[in-house]
Amino acid sequence: GCVRRSGGATGPAEAQARRHAGFATAPREARQGGAATASRSAALVRPAAAPREPSATQEGEHPGGYADPDDPSEGPRTPQGSSEPLHTGSDGGAASPGTVTREEIIDRARTWLAAKVPYSMSAYRSDGYRQDCSGFVSMAWDLRSNQWTGSLASFGERITKDELQPGDMLLFHNAQDPEDGSHVTLFGGWADAAHTKYTAYEQTPPRTRSRTTPYAYWTNSSRYIPYRPKNLASGSAGPRSSAFPGAVAFGPGKAGAHVTRLGEMLVARGAGRYYRIGPGPRWTEADRRATAAFQRAQGWRGTGADGIPGPRTWAYLTGGKGGDVR
């Protein structure tokens, strides 16, 4: 993502502020001309040499990095770096992306969430990934290189909103001026039955966050495009059969696409309040409580409402049967 500009010519004061924010000032012709994307990325969004950590003011702002916690319409202040190899201190050259499952993508994203990784367009984690929005998705997708919003699309396959599954990305790249609003988030699953809100994992000031977000984003919503990673492991697109996967797929210690699908179906049936950050591939207490709430909504009691889905619970959820959680 990038900072939003207020429009008009760039004066000396604004130019100085932009340099302090970590941008290299590029001529206006570079933004509006027909230069190749690669040269534009190098001219516009080359990271500064020294890391820039969030200021004390930023730390006290809205957790999404917005100036006004009650009005996210100004958009995220998330400048980004350019395409480059992993920053590991050795010249390993270009590397091909690894193969990942959807569960691994979400798990990788959650490692940054748990570590509260500070946002920076010029600082790098020990694994070499840059700490901005594009570096975050590069890491989660195991691209083994740092990309930016102008290059991430080449690593994905464009899909529709209805095809979104956890681990996909929602990308907005403003080709006319990459510094004006460009941003990318990871899709973590739907947060309501109407598919108007979803759990977004993103890297934005002051640090990594996961939050229920209006589809497709707070700003420039119509310009975000969903993509599925090209390096997704075979068979990890997520099951959509109504067949019960078996009790072995659920419960403490279990993980997989079936767990994610269960959570999404429960959210669609009114159990979203049990999920603090949305359904995911690893079984949690939220899954048990949401399942139990759905079972009780059917009038079931005892072992029939123990929070572990059986064939009848699964059939009700996949078939749209029974009552919703109230």
Q: pLDDT of 272-286, one tens digit each?
A: 999 987 788 889 999
* 38 falls within a domain: yes
| DSSP state at residue 212 | E
Q: Which residues 6+ apart lie within 8 Å of 223 measured at CB? A: 172, 174
**162-178 pLDDT per residue, tens:** 899 989 999 999 999 88
Could you tell me if 168 and 294 lie in one domain? no
Could you tell me if 69 and 153 lie in one domain? yes
Could you tell me if 38 and 97 lie in one domain? yes
Could you tell me if 212 and 252 lie in one domain? no
Question: Residue 79: pLDDT band by 50, 70, 90 thresholds?
Answer: low
Could you tell me if 141 and 273 lie in one domain? no
Contact 184, 169 (CB under 8 A): yes
Could you tell me if 252 and 153 lie in one domain? no
The values of phi and psi at residue 210, to 5°, are -130, 125
* 8 falls within a domain: no
Could you tell me if 117 and 65 lie in one domain? yes
Could you tell me if 209 and 172 lie in one domain? yes
Predicted TM-score (pTM) of this structure: 0.60
Domain that holds residue 313: 247-319
* 215 falls within a domain: yes
Contact 101, 66 (CB under 8 A): no
Could you tell me if 118 and 182 lie in one domain? yes
Domain boundary among 195, 229, 263: 229
Number of domains in the chain: 2
Could you tell me if 98 and 158 lie in one domain? yes
* 269 falls within a domain: yes
**272-321 pLDDT per residue, tens:** 999 987 788 889 999 999 999 999 999 999 999 999 999 999 999 988 89
Q: Give residue 28's pLDDT.
A: 37
CATH number for the domain harbouring residue 265: 1.10.101
